[in-house]
Structure 1
Amino acid sequence: MDLVVRARRAVTAAGEGPCEVGVRDGRIVEVAAGGLTGERVVELGDDEVLLPGLVDTHVHVNDPGRSEWEGFETATRAAAAGGITTIVDMPLNSLPPTVDVAALDIKRKTASGRVHVDVGFWGGAIPGNAGELRALHVEGVFGFKCFLLHSGVDEFPPLSDDELEADLGLLRDLGALMIVHAEDAETIEQAPQPHGPGYGGFLGSRPREAENVAISRVIELARRTGARVHILHLSSSDALPMIAQARRDGVRLTVETCPHYLTFTAEEIADGATQFKCCPPIREADNRERLWQGLADGTIDLVVSDHSPCTPELKRFDSGDFGEAWGGIASLQVGLPAVWTGARQRGFGLADVVRWMAERPAEQAGLARKGRIAAGADADFCVFAPDEEFVVDVANLRHRNPVSAYHGRSLTGVVRSTWLRGREVTGEPQGRLLVRGSA
């Protein structure tokens, strides 16, 4: 073996317990109770747990074009600091958006040699680019993202119902996945418009009904076409019963939520605290608890960051106006401790967190060698101290801009080190650019 990792506690494909993990040429070749030898042996401390490297399939890197918001180097460094070894980059907020092969090539050239973890790419589905989807699929994107309302940037417009249905038929034939930002434009247009520093006004402008209506429509189109669809960043717990029923009916549907919806509540957001603005919004405490229940019963499949950073100026801290501020929460580095803090309080274990944040995101994206500690998988590890407490300080976060809703929050669980294909992630970029089916 090139490397043997010995852990008194580990979460592996066989469950949680002590084990030794043998690595050769960047892959796990054996997981055993003991007796492995290698050129290098790393023995974890008594307070440390070996987890598989996390997989985050919802990250806005914004590079190229809006690299002052984030960038491949800073985003992947923050990911590694948070125990994440693979991210999949969203197709919008970069310029150009990833809606054709030429834009994908530009993005790959921008990322090449600059990434600290492995990086894959989603394609985008927008009006008029149906003819590009097959070529993007051939080029190895992991699936396609669409919006049902204005995305926040003019260069990535939403699909109509007819366009979405046509694209779903095409993606069904390709065997490709459509991931959907599901909020209904008409419902939001009829809601009160947000303005001023009060969070209640913003929350009222993005009602649960907007998600519920849109998700219902996506379910019906998925049922009609037979396509595989995924609901992004679920925040309305009202939609859980219809999601569960759709699955019982055989609709090919998966669902994610995000750490901020599991951590924060609308009731605690102060006036002018626009670092908490995101779309769909953080909702009430009772809604949060029902999302946790959705994870417990399996209606919600996975938890990913929706890391959507921006410059401090775009958050409009000068006015505190929720109507004017950019919507997005930067959380790559703190997602694991945020989810673990809430999970342990509700009786979940680390194996649950690994399932939500490593195994299932890898399965959703088709990353067969990621998200698990098992023979044949990539030797991607997170060394985690689950009982160590800390207070989040934006000065210690590695993403580009010092803005985070988690600043000042007490969390439990510290990432001690992150390993990518058997090498500890340190100062030099060592990540690879992935294509669908390559990992």
Structure 2
Amino acid sequence: MQITNQIGDQHEVPTEKGAGKKYLIPFILITSLFFLWGMAHNLDSILIPHLKKACELNNRQSTLIDAAVFFAYFIMAIPAGMLIKRFGYKNSIIIGLLVFAIGAFLFVPAANTRTYELFLFALFIIGCGLTILETSANPYAAILGPPESSSKRLNLAASFNGLAAMVAPVVGSLFILSGKNYTPDQMDAMPDTTRAAYLMEEAAAVKMPYIILGTILVLVAILFYFMHLPSMKPQHTEVEVKPGFFSVLKYSHLSWAVVAQFFYVGAQVCVTSFFIRIAIQGAGLDEKTAAYYLGIYGFLFMAGRFIGTFFLRFVKDYILLSIYCIISAFLCLVAIYGTGIYVIYALGGLGFFMSIMFPTIFALGIVDLKSNTETGSSWLVMSIVGGAILPYGMGTLIDIKHDDIQAGYIIPLVCFLVILYFGVFGHKVKQAVSSLQIE
């Protein structure tokens, strides 16, 4: 395997240690993106109970927050892959950051008018930006070094996504959630002016956090514009016939990775979207305390990423994935049938054991795709639409069960069983790992 720089010099591929030194700054920059889109996703867990109040929604309607973001992944995954091929990783990342920022700034008119549809549109635009970023950054982090360590590298970068899972609930608790909750009867008893003022106050709470987030995104985009990032392209010694967008699914390990990723993202979003509600209902916590525990969940998610990255030095990635799936399925049973603090323990455990699943599935899915890595990445990003579909199904089930939040956790339980199949059987690939050229 050779490395070619922009003036055409050839060098031996560095060792893992040498590569870490040579590509430290690019890796840090890419890692920052994992934190930023982690903030967006984990603020959604705050928005769901918050906008449920502010816009007076039922459970099913509140899950449209997730649907708006993750449906954008499905719509934008192919265009995102085309952007990367046309403009490269760096320019695609800048475009993604700016689109993300536009969506964040749209929260201002949405809050000013308390229009749920406008909130959903803003979240859809955010989702479009996130799609471009994830389609660019996930494969870039995976191939920024020796292919045999791609899972460890991707899990390390994704650990900072876990950091966002801890920070976002704290931000949401301090600046978005008011702690004021009224029953339907209390709301009906309010004078119209008092009711309208309360609802507008709740809606307005989201403006400042999203203005700050949008500003940071613009500044990061400017930083990327002025920084040099090495571009990566596949290099093969033999002639390779490149399949089309759908025929790439003939790689069975990619097909199963797409299925597993669909169910994983659906499971994660189900768990976090209803975390505050189940903590209130199942463990008897108030809103702000529930958000605090969501922050602890985020800490465990982050810790799981770092610890999982360490374990991957000694355990095969598919084996660790399978073990974590079994434990996660058991914890779902505790969340469904447990009471009191045991529900919180189960949710925290889910945060820890889910932590490595997305990057591990992604890395296993793009093994040996060679020049089809971008296409395979687009499919894996498209599969994130599971985060739009499965939580809606969970919200519907909860409404059918008369607002029994715990019963809804049967959905993530089934998801972990599907991912377990991928970890045991579906990940297997016959082709050898391809070489890479770095320019």
- TM-score of the aligned structures, taking structure 2 as reference length: 0.21
- Indicate the structure with greater strand content: 1
Structure having the higher Rg = 2
Greater RCO structure (CA 8 Å; 6+ sep): 2
- TM-score of the aligned structures, taking structure 1 as reference length: 0.21
